[in-house]
Amino acid sequence: MKVFGLVAVFVVGLLLLSATQDFPSWGNPRSAASDGEVSSFYIEKTEAVTKVPNMVTAVLADFRGYDTMFETVVIFIAGIGIIAVLRNFEGSDSSIDYDNDDNGAGLLARFTCSLILPFIQIFALYVVAHGHHSPGGGFQGGVMLGASYILLALAFGLSKAKRIFSERRTMIFAVVGIFIYVGWGVLCLLLGGEFLNYSVLDSILPGDAMMARSYSMLVVEIGVAFTVTAIMFSMYSNLSTRGRLSKGL
């Protein structure tokens, strides 16, 4: 069986290597991907029609808004799936004994974490808020914000982190994130445009239709960040405690 697997990997690898011969060379402006009508529209017109300098975020949150919306739903479903498989209500009581359940790290680790945690969270919020002007966005900022709560749980014990970010609050955050994204799309519908066509929102937002698209990208990034933060922390707390949500790492 092992030999068969090795041969299969070797053959498929050779096929893939031979397929790279047909790829356009790196950075070739005449390649099919960068010569098409769609790519040149994004490259030339993004800043003019959306007032957003970061093309990647503009494509993710505006031109391909549906894609990102269901990507967020996929993350939500992954979190729900982990809870459905792992969550064990028998080992944990609803009223957690906070004093008895503390197994954080040593003094130095706690002190260092309490020093750097605020900076991690500020930077995460900056990445979310500035995602349409610099690299970053809802996914990256949300992951960093979730990681800051994971660090809190590692340094001070899961019970302390759960006092701030309880299971109920986690799930509310995850649902609110998707609600913000979908609700923003429905708001476009109510104002007479298509679903997620942000330019009709200029009647309720300051500025013209282009600024409305820029602001809307910020709103949907915030929605994504809510869901990703909550699901990352929920994944960690369920996986590290086998679903008991007490006495973790």
Partner 1 sequence: MIWQFDIIILIFLVVAAIVSLRLKDLLGASMVFGIYSFLICLLWAEMGAVDVAFTEAAVGAGVSTVIMIATIFSTTRRSKD
Q: Which residues bind partner 1 (CB under 8 A)?
A: 26, 54, 56-57, 127, 135-137, 139-140, 143-144, 146-147, 150, 154, 232, 235-236, 239-242, 248-249
Smallest gap from residue 39 Cβ to partner 1 (A): 15
Smallest gap from residue 190 Cβ to partner 1 (A): 32
Smallest gap from residue 148 Cβ to partner 1 (A): 11
What six digits make up the tokens of 35? 């010569």
Q: Which is nearer to partner 1, 63 or 236 (CB)?
A: 236
- Rounded (10°) angle between helices 209-240 and 37-50: 100
Q: Which is nearer to partner 1, 149 or 201 (CB)?
A: 149
Q: How far apart are CA 150 and CA 232, in angstroms?
A: 8
Q: Which is nearer to partner 1, 212 or 245 (CB)?
A: 245
Output the CA torsion sign for 87, 90, 95, 99: negative
Smallest gap from residue 240 Cβ to partner 1 (A): 4
8 A C-beta contact, residue 17 and residue 9: no
In eight-state DSSP terms, residue 59 is I
Distances (CA, A) of 107 to 100, 152, 155, 159: 18, 13, 9, 17
Smallest gap from residue 98 Cβ to partner 1 (A): 21
Angle, CA of 30, 32 and 33, to the nearest 5°:
105
Q: Which is nearer to partner 1, 69 or 144 (CB)?
A: 144
Smallest gap from residue 46 Cβ to partner 1 (A): 14
Q: What are phi and psi of 236, to 5 degrees?
A: -60, -45
Measure the CA dihedral 141/146/151/152, to 10°.
Answer: 120
Q: Which is nearer to partner 1, 156 or 188 (CB)?
A: 156
Q: Which is nearer to partner 1, 77 or 186 (CB)?
A: 77
Angle, CA of 17, 22 and 25, to the nearest 5°:
100
